[in-house]
A and B are shown apart, each in its own frame.
Chain A
Amino acid sequence: MTNHEFDVVIVGAGGAGMRAALESSQRAKTAVLTKLYPTRSHTGAAQGGMAAALANVEDDNAEWHTFDTVKGGDYLVDQDAAEILCKEAIDAVLDLEKMGLPFNRTTAGKVDQRRFGGHTRNHGEAAVRRACYAADRTGHMILQTLYQQCIKQEVEFFNEFYVLDLILDSDPQAAADGDEVAVAGVVAYQLSTGEVHTFRAKSVIFATGGAGKVFKTTSNAHTLTGDGMGIALRAGLPLEDMEFFQFHPTGLAGLGILLSEAARGEGGILRNSEGERFMERYAPTIKDLAPRDMVARAMANEVREGRGCGPHKDYVLLDLTHLEPAHIDEKLPDITEFARTYLGVEPYTEPVPVFPTAHYAMGGIPTNVNAEVLRNNTDVVKGLYAAGECACVSVHGANRLGTNSLLDINVFGRRAGIAAAEYANSVDAAPELPADADATVAGLVASLRETVGGDGTERVAQIRKELQETMDMNVQVFRTAESLAEAAGAVKGLRERFASIAIHDRGQRFNTDLLEAVELGFLLELAEVVIAGADGRKESRGGHYREDFPTRDDENYMQHTMAYATPEGLRMDWKPVVVTKYQPMERKY
C-alpha cells in the first residue's frame, strides 16, 4: 500500500474533472485520479454542441435559455441552478475559445451556433440557434482542449487508477442534522500493478461520468459503469433522481451508437414505415426538434403500433437524403461515417435505421450550486464535491436538453475546482485516514482474486448481460408497476448470483477481468436505485414515463427522489424543488 497526500483530489478526467483541475491546480496541490487516460474519457464522444446564449447569429439571452432548461426538464429543475448554468454559459464558451478550442465560425469570424432540440426564442416561439459547435466533434474538441491546457499547467495525473472507496471522518447516516461530516480521502486500485493506494485529501471532487451500462442499448462507453455514484451510495450518501434516464432518440438501430440531434438540427427528419413525418402529430410546432423524451416515446410508439421499419419492424428512419452531401460532410462528418462503417448505409442516398438508446443520467450525487455534496436535504459533507454527469445539481431535472451537459461539465466543473481549492486552503489539515483505510478495497480485491479456480459458477459477463436486458425490457421509455416489479425481482436474483461469481485472472498486472467484476457490482446496485425510484414515482415526467400514471402530478411529485442505501435496504425520501420564477405549466411544443 502506498499513501499520498494532496490538498485536492479529483476523481475523473473527463470534461468536468479536467475543467475542475484547471482551477484547482492553480490554487492548491491537486491530483487527478482517472481510470482511463484523460483523452479516452467519454466527453470525447459528444457530438452536437454546447449551449450558450451568445447571440452570435440571432437574438438570444440567458433568461430564454433558463426558461427552456426548466421547461425541457419538466419543472423538476432547480431553478437557481439553471439560472447560474445559463448565465455562466457565455463565459464558459468564451473561456474554451480562449484556450484554443476550434469552434466552427460564422463568416464574420465569430463562434457559429446552430439549432438543437428544446432551445427556443422567447419562451417557445421558435427554435433558436444556441448550440456552439465544432462539426459533430464538439466533445472531442472540449476534451482535447482541456487536456492540452492541463499539459500546459502541468496538472498531476494518476492514469489508470480506479478509485473504489471514499473515506469520510464519520458515518453520514448516523450523524444528526447539522453535525459536521468531512471528507478524509479516497482509496484507489492501480491497474498497472494491482497495488492499492490511499489518498488523504482536504477536498475530493467526484467527476466520474455516467452509468449508461446499466442498459443494453446505450450510447455510453463500456467504462461508464457509474463508479462514482456507486461509491457515494456505499459511503452512506444519497443519490438523487436516479429514475430519470434520458433515452436519446437516434441511436443506430441494434447498436446504440449515437447519431447526434444535430442531424435533426441541420434538417434531418424522422419517418415511419409509411414514410410519414410522424413528429408532426406529436409536436406540431417544433416537430423533430421536440425534447428527447417526447421524440423517443413517439418513436417507440410508432414501432409498437406497427409502423416500424425493417424486417422486424423495430426501428424508424432518420432521413438526411434531402440535405446536400457537401452540407452533410461539413456539419455531420463523423456520424454519417458511423452509419457507413457500422450499418453499411450511405446517408446521402439512404435513410438511416435508428431507435432510442440509453444516453444520459439526469440523476446522480446530489450537490448544491457550489458543487458541494449533500448528505441529506440540507447538510453538505465538508470538502466533498461532485460535478458533471455523476452529479445532480439539478440543472436537467426530468429531462436534459441537448447541449446542456457539455455546458454543465464546464460551468460546474469550474465551480467545483474553485470551491474545492478554496476550502482546502481554509482548513489546516484533512482528517487523519484510519490505519485500515484501505481495508475495504483490499478486501474486495482479495476476495475476487480468490474466486479464480474456486467453486463459483457464475460469469460476470452473463450477469451483466441479463441485467442490461432486463433494464432494456422493463425500465426503458415505457414503464409500469408490473415491468418495474419484474425488473426488481430480476436484479435481486442477479445480485444473489453475483455472490458466487468466479473470475479468471489472478494476475497483479492489468487485471481488467477483476475490474469488470468490480464495475458490475456498481451497476447492480445502481440498477436497484433506478428501479426503486421509478417505482416510487407514480406519475410521468420528462424521461420517466409510467403507462399506468401517464400524466404529470405536480401536487404529489414535484420533488426530487433521494435514495439512501441502508443495512435494511434502500430508503427512499424526497427533496423539494427550488422554484424561483417559473411556475409549472404543461410542456407543449
Chain B
Amino acid sequence: MTATAEKTEEVGAVESFTVTLKILRHDPDGLDGREPGAEYWEEFQVEAHATDRVLDALHAIKWEQDGTLAFRRSCAHGVCGSDAMRINARNRLACKTLLKDLNPARPITVEPIKGLPVEKDLIVDMEPFFASYRDIMPFLMPSGPTPERERLQSPEDRERFDDTTKCILCAACTTSCPVFWTDGQYFGPQAIVGAHRFIFDSRDDGEWDRLEILNDQAGVWKCRTAFNCTEACPRGIEVTKAISEVKRALTSGEV
C-alpha cells in the first residue's frame, strides 16, 4: 500500500512490538450515549514495526479495531499536507513520523492541532487557516506587458525564495504558535511564509501591497520569535528566518 510500511523486513529485518496510542477523541454526533461534541481520551494497542509511521498505526486502529476514528490523509509520504497533528505534544505529519523515533515503550499521545475548531477526532476546520492564506494575496502580481516567452529570472534570484516555495499548507507551523493560540487576530506564520514566497520573487511587483497587509495589526509584528514554527515545519522551511526577512523589509523599506 502507499506506504503502509508492513513489508520492511525486505530492507533488513525489523522486529515487531506492541505500541500504545493515546488519542484525544471528539465525537460531533454524540453516539453511544455521549453528548454531541464530547471529548475523551482513548487508548489503543497495535502491533507495529519500528519503521512504521504513526499514520500506519492510526490505519491499523481504524482498519482493524475502530472504524469511527477519523483523521485526514492522502499521499502518505509528507507531500500533501493532510495529516498534521500533535504527536507527543509536538506538531508533526503522522505519515512522516516513524514510531522508532518516538520511544514506543511509552504511550504515544495523538491530538488534533491546536487553535482551529475541532470537527471530529483528529480533524479540524481548516477554513480559518486557508482564509489567512488567501488574505495575503498568494499569487503573482507582475506589472508591465506580458512577454511572449517566459519572464527571465536568474538562478540567484530564483534561489532567494526557494525555501518558502516548499510549503504544503499543512498548518503545523501556525498551530504550534503560542501567539496564534491566544490571539484571535494573528494570521500566523504560514501566511507570512506564503507572502514571503512572492515578496522575494523578482518577477512580482505586489510586494508592497503584501507588506502593508503584514504590517497590519494581525501581522508580522505579533511574532515573538518563539521558533516553534520552524521546529514544526515538516518541509524544513526556516519559517522564523522568512519572518525576519519580512520584518527587515518593512523596517528598511527594501526588498
Mutual binders A and B: yes
| Chain A residues near B (Cβ < 8 Å) | 36-37, 39-42, 44-45, 93-94, 97-100, 102-111, 134, 137, 140-141, 144, 148-149, 151-152, 192, 212-213, 216-223, 253-257, 310-312, 314-315, 334, 338, 341-344, 353, 459-461, 465, 468, 503-513
Chain A contacts for B166, CB-based, 8 A: 137, 140
State the Cβ distance, A466 to closest chain B Cβ, in Å: 12
State the Cβ distance, A250 to closest chain B Cβ, in Å: 14
Point out the residue from A36, A218, A342, A343 that lies within 8 Å of B82, measured CB to CB. A36
A213 CA to B75 CA, complexed, in Å: 12
17 A–B contacts from the bound complex (CB under 8 Å): A94-B150, A100-B198, A105-B152, A140-B168, A141-B165, A148-B140, A151-B138, A212-B2, A217-B1, A221-B2, A221-B75, A221-B76, A256-B2, A256-B3, A461-B62, A504-B68, A505-B70
Main DSSP-derived SS at the A contact region: loop
Q: A221-B74, A223-B74 are in contact. Are A504 and B67 (CB under 8 A)?
A: yes
Q: Which of A107, A338, A513 is the most central at the interface, judged by chain B CB atoms within 10 Å of its CB?
A: A513
| Chain B residues near A (Cβ < 8 Å) | 1-3, 5, 7-13, 27-29, 31, 51, 62-64, 66-68, 70-82, 96, 98, 119-121, 123, 126, 130, 133-134, 137-140, 142, 146-147, 149-155, 158, 161-162, 165-169, 198, 201, 203-204
Are B10's CB and A312's CB within 8 A?
yes
Chain A contacts for B137, CB-based, 8 A: 152
A93 CA to B66 CA, complexed, in Å: 46
Point out the residue from B51, B134, B201 that lies within 8 Å of A342, measured CB to CB. B51
Chain B contacts for A212, CB-based, 8 A: 2
State the Cβ distance, B72 to closest chain A Cβ, in Å: 8
Are B13's CB and A255's CB within 8 A?
no
Point out the residue from B2, B7, B11, B121 that lies within 8 Å of A220, measured CB to CB. B2
A108 CA to B153 CA, complexed, in Å: 8
Chain A residue at smallest Cβ distance from B7: A254
A395 CA to B77 CA, complexed, in Å: 29
Are A256's CB and B139's CB within 8 A?
no
Point out the residue from B70, B80, B119, B152 that lies within 8 Å of A44, measured CB to CB. B80
Are A111's CB and B96's CB within 8 A?
no
**9 nearest A-B pairs in the assembled complex, by CB-CB distance:** A504-B67, A100-B140, A461-B63, A109-B152, A513-B67, A507-B29, A510-B120, A152-B139, A148-B139
State the Cβ distance, A249 to closest chain B Cβ, in Å: 17
A223 CA to B9 CA, complexed, in Å: 26
Point out the residue from A40, A94, A100 that lies within 8 Å of B74, measured CB to CB. A40
Are A510's CB and B28's CB within 8 A?
yes
State the Cβ distance, B217 to closest chain A Cβ, in Å: 22
Are A99's CB and B67's CB within 8 A?
no
Are A506's CB and B168's CB within 8 A?
no
Are B5's CB and A221's CB within 8 A?
no
Q: A94-B150, A222-B2, A344-B51 are in contact. Are A310 and B10 (CB under 8 A)?
A: yes
Chain A residue at smallest Cβ distance from B235: A334
A374 CA to B29 CA, complexed, in Å: 43
Chain B contacts for A512, CB-based, 8 A: 62, 70-71
A344 CA to B63 CA, complexed, in Å: 27
Point out the residue from B10, B64, B154 that lies within 8 Å of A461, measured CB to CB. B64
A111 CA to B147 CA, complexed, in Å: 14
Are B151's CB and A105's CB within 8 A?
no
Chain B contacts for A310, CB-based, 8 A: 10-12
Are B80's CB and A221's CB within 8 A?
yes
Are B1's CB and A216's CB within 8 A?
yes
Q: Which of B51, B140, B151, B203 is the most central at the interface, judged by chain A CB atoms within 10 Å of its CB?
A: B140
A223 CA to B12 CA, complexed, in Å: 29
Are A311's CB and B13's CB within 8 A?
yes
Chain B contacts for A105, CB-based, 8 A: 152-155, 158
Chain A residue at smallest Cβ distance from B156: A105
Point out the residue from B66, B70, B75, B153 that lies within 8 Å of A109, measured CB to CB. B153
State the Cβ distance, B160 to closest chain A Cβ, in Å: 10
Q: A221-B74, A505-B68 are in contact. Are A40 and B82 (CB under 8 A)?
A: yes
Point out the residue from B13, B96, B162 that lies within 8 Å of A102, measured CB to CB. B162
Are A314's CB and B62's CB within 8 A?
no
A256 CA to B158 CA, complexed, in Å: 32
State the Cβ distance, B148 to closest chain A Cβ, in Å: 8
Chain B residue at smallest Cβ distance from A97: B150
